[in-house]
Structure formats: structure tokens, C-alpha cells
Chain A
């Protein structure tokens, strides 16, 4: 049962990823990414990370992707030209990608982490619950927590600044 779910979700994630890369129209790419994100959420659930899965759906697929949709709608989805100005890029890219995959896989599979060959230790039912994650965030990882809140503030300010150029730019042009 678990294996079936895994392969289904894996297939979904992979096809979503390939769709993002391959689809010409960026709008379709966004949609493919949403599929990918949902598949990943399923995979998270399989790994007993309930809260992360929920956050993935709510934050990522929910908020971030909506933002993408708005921007793509505003900007428009032009298809790109076929001609490649950088010599060798089209040739090297898949090679490099493949090399990367192979290396990483070898690194993982050939490592001496024996635990990789298992399903992981037995965990209590509350593994991955918001309570546990919240506890960690507020106790052991307080600094990253606060830092990420500052980061969010920066991002918000940055967005306002970038978006607020409207007045200058329209009068200049």
C-alpha cells in the first residue's frame, strides 16, 4: 500500500518537475509546479511529517503559487525563441544535470549510512505533529525562528519598494 502511494506520488512529482522545465507557456509551468507540490505533500505524509505536509499545501501551493499565478497573469507568458546565444549550453545542460544526479545518487547509495536501507526507527504517533515542531522552534531553534521572521519582514519591505516604483517610473517614461 505504502509502495503504491509512494510510486504514484513520485510519478506525480517527477511529471510536475518535467512539466515545469519542458512546458513552453509559463502559466502551464506554474500549474505543473502545483501538481508537483501536491505530490510532495503526499510524500511528506508518507514520511510522517504531517505538519510539513500541511505547511507545504497551505503556504507553498496556497500562497506562493497564487502569487506566481498573479504575476504570470500580469506579465504574460511569451514563448521563448529557439535560438541559443550561449554556445554549448543546450548540449551541456542535460549532461551536467545527469552528472549531478549520478553523483548524488552514488554519494547516497554508496555511503556507509546503513540506516538508509531501512524505513527508519519506530516513531511514536505524535511524530511530525505541530506540537513537537512548535516545541523545537521555540526552544532549540529559537534563533532561526526569529531570524526567519526578520527575513520575512525584509521580503515584505523589499516587495513594497520594488512595487512602489510606479510613480517615478511612469513620470520618467
Chain B
């Protein structure tokens, strides 16, 4: 079978899985639904592998295929086909998405077991994977937008999965609204591209763009900025990032899949895919890079003080995506994509482990109340340590190679881009500190009551079900989390998934050791051949220097975290007291939510109120009641004649007749 045929199958299986589970949710028992869902993605992964093998059979320069099924819209100069585009970049994304998704489905098999919405969960999750695959495989901008919108919907559906929780539904709406803002940018960019180039298909667009646009022309810059709007909304970069921490209201597998490994990387994929356009608008590319850098630092500082475990990991995601955005914006395309892959592994793993710990804590998410799980939950502790080491770029873990490759590239470009290197290493330091802050809080130390209970009796802690964000009590029916909690130690499916990811988090970096092998780089580089930036290669020596610096920073960060949280545990409190203003500022997430509320939400509400009270009342009602009043007044005026007196009627009659006669007499004479 041809490569594109395998690609179509990749799209088919998750869609079928989603529909099958949705249609048969009453008939299928829960376990079967879970198996069907996981198998669907597993099959998609297998087809992805087959597509990859088929693709590798081609010459490196010829590894791009487009294939379309039928016409999607063929009217008035538009010719949009339901077409996919398979090249190393999309194949790479397909494998990352399906691979991590399969493991997360496996994890959810155990984790969501006692939830009443089990079937719905798997259906939505399969639909999400389908949408994400549609997004990465799309061969033209229209289908990309379709996939983009589907992904946004799936995210909304999954964030507000526990729909009877008000906090969850509100978070879902917030995510959706901010996504829509990004969608506007994407759609406008697509329209502009069509206007300038006359086509939506990727192949022709990227071939014609360098001929039609000259560098830094305002149209291409506008297109790229609008694309960035979409990318930043989806990837939670400043200033459209406020939805991501709130999205932690969704179940942990959702956070793991969507908000760590796949959906939030869609923006990175978009920038990489349209790198030709960004190459023609270096200003836009630089704006993207600086925004990524800003996000990187801001998110890292917030993660330093976050007390909610899942939100802290969410900010970490935001920060790491900042690295990826920087990577693909400054020209380190394969490095950025490599970091995407390694991040998928260790971030998904971190969320899974966090889910396990939160389950042990009876849905409590505040790390101040967690401690001593190193003894209580061995497996979870080991996996969280693996993920943490990778995140902190501990030497020879996957994160180590991927993150430092981006920074080495920045150094190689030189000039202004050295800022990225310096601040990137600062971010790496902060990353190491906050990662191990979490680990040193949760793992060592005297066990907290829940952990103690686990050690002593093997019972899982059980409190009344509570909303972790607001603390209010809730019940456990449909629309709420299930009554039972599942930890990795008790669930085989969870353990398998986490083990595979842990292995990947530690060792997957070995495919891209500078000077030794460059599996990812060699595979992806042909896609970016045309770009001038891709020819900038740091020398092997420079890369190893960068790696050395990175290693030193990582170890320093871990050391600082050890000092603050294990050796001298009273220091954080003292620091908080001394720098209370700064602490409040960071704890309140740099007041972004408040700023958006002030700048966007309140004016919108004010406009609405004005429209309702003034415009609606005066103009619309005025017009209608005014007409009514005029008619009524006219009627009242005329009514005067209807006096009821026959004689006055007769008088009017005769007067009228006399008048008419007079008129005729005058006109005839």
C-alpha cells in the first residue's frame, strides 16, 4: 500500500473508534469501550509506523506526497479538496500523537475506571486524536482549520468533562473562547493567503510564496502575525495563555494528552509547517521567538510559587512550549520538533504520576499537604523522578539533548540571538528548580496522613468528594469524578503506560546525540531544505559545549532545590516573607487574568450593557413604540370625528358633497 493509503487509515481508526463507542455506549460494557478506544489508537499508531516505513522507502528529497479523496468545495474559483499531505514532518507528528495517545488511553483504562462517564471519555478522547491527526495530516489550509476547530472543540468537551462542576464548565468555556480568538487569526491568514496566491493547498502555496512575496512585505508579515495569533492561542503562549492553568479542571489523562503532549503543540507544528512564509517575514518570526522567550520565563517564574500540583506542571508545559516556539522561530526546526517529542514523553509521564498521587490524596491537589510518597508509592515515585530528571535536563536524559540543541542553535546564529541562549539557560535553571521543588516536596520527608495510611494499611485515603479548586463538596454521579480513585500501584494498565513513557523520557534522547547520530534531524531536515536558516549548523564542539553548560545548570538547579526544600526547609518560608510583594505577584500569575478582565471582559460587558440599556431602549424600542404611539395618536385624532351624532355625520357628508361639486364646477368652467 502507498504511504498515503496508510495515512488515510491512520485517520480512519480513531474516527471509527469514537463513533463506535458513542453509538453503542449503552450496549458496550465499560471495559470493552476502553479496549476499543485504546485499540483504535493503537491501530492508528501501527498504520503510522507503516506509513513511515513506506515513506523511508523514498529518496529523501521525494518524501512528500499529497493525496485527496474528493472535492470538499469547488465553487467560484475555490478548489478545496479533502486532501492530506504526508511528509517527514507530518509523519513525525502522527507518530508522536498516536504513540503518546495509545499510552494515555491505556492509562485512562485504569484511571477512569470508576467514573460514570467512562464511555463518553473514550469517545471524546478518540475524537480528539482524530482531530489532531486531521490537523497534522491536512494538505490544505481549509482542512487544517477544520482540524484546528475540532481540536478546540474536543479540548472544550474534555476540560468540562465533569460537567456538573461549575469550575470545570467555566474553564472549558474560557479555553474555547480564547481558542476562538486564535481561530480568527488563522482563518484571516488563510483568507489572505488565498487572496494573494489563489490556492489553499500546501504544496502550491509554499512553492509560489517566495515568488509572490518579497521579504518583509506587509502582506506576508500580516499573514504570519495572524498565523501566530492562532498558534499562540492553541499553544498557550503570552498573552493568550490564561486558559491553560484553568484547563487543569479536566481529568488528569486529558491534561496529560491534550495539554502537554499534543494539542498545545499544534501551534509549534503550524509554525514549522509554514516555515516558508515565516522565512519571508523575519520580523514576524522574531516576534514569535521573543514571545516564546517571554512565555518561557514568565511561566517558569510562576511555576516556582504554584502550590497546585497540576497547575504547576501546566505552567511548566507553557514554559517548555516556549522553548519549542523559540526553536521553530529562529530556524532550529528539527531541534524544536525533537524537543516536542521528548517533552511529550516526560510531560505526559509527569501528569500521569501526578494523577496517581492526587488519587492517593483523595483528589487533593495542594502540594503543601503532600509529603513522604517516596516510601508510600514506590512505582509512582520512580516514574515521577524519571520525568522530573528529563524535564530538568539532567545529563543524558532526553530533555537534556533536546533543550540544549535549541540553545546551541541560537548561539550559532549569533548576534541578537545570543539573548535566547542566555535567557534560555536562565529558564533552564528555573525549570530545574521548580521541577525539583515539586519532587522534593512530594517524595521525601515524613509521610502525610494519606501516605501514612497507605503505608500502614494499604488503604487508599477516602474523604468526602470535593472540588479541588473550590473545596466544596460534591457527589459522584455522572458529571462528577467517580467515587473510587486509582493509583498506579494498583492498576496494571497505568503501570505499563507509565513505564513505557519513563523509558522514553530517559533514553529517547539518545537518538540525537551531537556528533554521534541525528536520527530526528536527518529525518526532518529535508522538509526544511528551502529555508536559509536551516543551513546554520552549530559545530559539534559548540554543541557539546552547550551541553556541558546545560548539564552544569541543571545540576545547579537541582542542588538549589535540594538546599531549599530538603536541607534547609525553613528557607522558602523566610524568602516568601522577605519578598512577599514579588511572591504575591508571581502567585497571582503576573495578574494576567485580572488584566484581561480589565481590558477585554469589562469593556465587552459594558458595551453589552450600553447596547441593552441605551441603544435597545432608545433606538429600537423607541422606533417601535414610537411608531405605535404615532399611530395611536393619529387614531385618537381621527376618533374625534366619530362623535356618535348622526347629524354631524350628515353635515360632514353634505359638506363633502358640496366641496366636490364646487371642485367640479370650478374645474369645468
Contact = CB atoms under 8 A, between A and B. Distances in A.
| Interaction A to B | yes
Interface of A: 85-86, 89, 92-93, 96-97, 99-100, 103-104, 106-107, 110
B70 interface: no
B643 A86 contact: yes
Contact of A89 (B647, B657, B664, B669): B647
B648 A89 contact: yes
A40 to B, nearest CB: 22
B651 A103 contact: no
A147 B658 CA distance: 31
Nearest to A112: B668
B658 A99 contact: yes
A107 B669 CA distance: 10
B665 A107 contact: yes
Contacts of A96: 651, 654-655, 658
A100 B653 CA distance: 12
Nearest to A101: B658
B665 A106 contact: yes
B53 interface: no
Contacts of B648: 86, 89
Contacts of A93: 651
Closest 6 pairs between A and B when the two form their complex, measured CB to CB: A103-B661, A99-B658, A86-B648, A86-B645, A100-B658, A96-B654
A98 B87 CA distance: 105
A86 B669 contact: no
5 contacts: A86-B647, A92-B655, A99-B662, A100-B658, A103-B665
Nearest to B645: A86
Nearest to A104: B661
B659 to A, nearest CB: 9
Given A96-B651, A106-B665, 4 more contacts: A85-B645, A92-B655, A103-B658, A107-B664
Contact of A110 (B643, B655, B669): B669
Contact of A100 (B645, B647, B654, B669): B654
* Most-contacted residue by chain B among A96, A104, A106, A107 (CB, 10 A): A96
Contacts of A92: 651, 655
A87 to B, nearest CB: 9
A100 B658 CA distance: 6
Contacts of A100: 654, 657-658, 661
A112 B256 CA distance: 107
A45 B450 CA distance: 130
A107 B651 contact: no
Contacts, number: 33
Contacts of A86: 643, 645, 647-648
Given A86-B643, A86-B647, A92-B651, A103 B669 contact: no
Contacts of B657: 100
Given A96-B655, A100-B654, A107 B661 contact: yes
Interface of B: 643, 645, 647-648, 651, 654-655, 657-658, 661-662, 664-665, 669
Nearest to A97: B654
Contacts of B655: 92, 96
Contacts of B662: 99, 103
Nearest to B661: A103
B661 A89 contact: no
B146 to A, nearest CB: 77
A164 B79 CA distance: 86
A97 B653 CA distance: 12
A66 to B, nearest CB: 26
Contacts of A97: 654
A104 B661 CA distance: 8
A2 B643 CA distance: 49
A103 B664 CA distance: 10
Contacts of B643: 86
B665 A89 contact: no
Contacts of A99: 658, 662
Nearest to B662: A103
Contacts of A89: 647-648, 651
A44 B651 CA distance: 30
A21 to B, nearest CB: 13
B102 to A, nearest CB: 93
A164 B651 CA distance: 33
A99 B648 CA distance: 17
Contacts of B645: 85-86
A107 B643 CA distance: 33
A20 B662 CA distance: 28
Contacts of A104: 661
A144 B581 CA distance: 108
* Most-contacted residue by chain B among A89, A103, A106, A107 (CB, 10 A): A103
A91 to B, nearest CB: 11
A86 B651 CA distance: 11
A96 B648 CA distance: 12
A96 B655 CA distance: 6
A106 B662 CA distance: 10
A107 B661 CA distance: 8
A104 B662 CA distance: 9
Contacts of A110: 665, 669
Nearest to A98: B658
A89 B655 CA distance: 12
A100 B651 CA distance: 12
Nearest to B643: A86
B383 to A, nearest CB: 100
A93 B657 CA distance: 14
Nearest to B660: A103
A92 to B, nearest CB: 6
Contacts of A107: 661, 664-665
A92 B655 CA distance: 9
B285 to A, nearest CB: 89
A89 B643 CA distance: 13
B103 to A, nearest CB: 95
A131 to B, nearest CB: 38
A97 B658 CA distance: 9
A26 B598 CA distance: 89
Nearest to A92: B651
* Most-contacted residue by chain A among B648, B654, B658, B664 (CB, 10 A): B658
A23 B251 CA distance: 104
Nearest to B669: A110
Contacts of B665: 103, 106-107, 110
A30 B654 CA distance: 24
Contacts of A103: 658, 661-662, 665
A99 B645 CA distance: 22
B662 to A, nearest CB: 6
Contacts of B664: 107
A93 B662 CA distance: 17
A108 to B, nearest CB: 11
A43 B39 CA distance: 117
A141 to B, nearest CB: 27
Contacts of B651: 89, 92-93, 96
A104 B665 CA distance: 9
A84 to B, nearest CB: 9
B258 to A, nearest CB: 84
A106 to B, nearest CB: 6
A92 B652 CA distance: 10
B656 to A, nearest CB: 10
A89 to B, nearest CB: 6
Contacts of A85: 645
A104 B651 CA distance: 17
